[in-house]
Amino acid sequence: MHFNLHPWFVAAALLPAVAYGATTSYTCKFLVEATPKGLSKQASPFELRFVVDASTRKAYLMGNAGSSEVEVIPNTDGISFVEITASGNVMVTAVTNSGEAVHSRNGIMFKQLVPSQFYGKCTRQ
């Protein structure tokens, strides 16, 4: 027998601390960056904050200049957030249940790849 579960049902099952109508936030700090030139430690952390609203089934990346909606992809071992920028570049942040995180930027600018990854930790509130 095969069940086709809606992704938000799966998300609700994987995030038991989130009650219906509640919000959960993830504050992420990344100290290490990987680029085609190699690894570098950041002098100050690169920070991201995600807010998941269970009542509207939406998630947002909160920034200095406002917020943008992101896709939430639950996983048995964590959660991922996918942002598609106005220019079509794809950014993915994956967070394990223990808080380890990676933020991947997969960009193309001026016909050139602009890839980077940041490694750090996220705290769930």
**pTM for the whole structure:** 0.79
**How close are the terminal C-alpha atoms of the chain, in Å?**
37
Share of the chain above pLDDT 90, in %: 67
Domains annotated on the chain, with CATH? 7-124 (2.40.160)
Q: What is the mean pLDDT of the chain?
A: 85
Within a 13 Å sphere around the CA of 2, how many CA atoms are in the beta-carbon half?
1
Residue 85 clears pLDDT 80, i.e. is over it = yes
Q: Would you state the pLDDT for residue 76?
A: 94
Q: Would you state the pLDDT for residue 118?
A: 97
At 54, the pLDDT band (50, 70, 90 cuts) reads confident
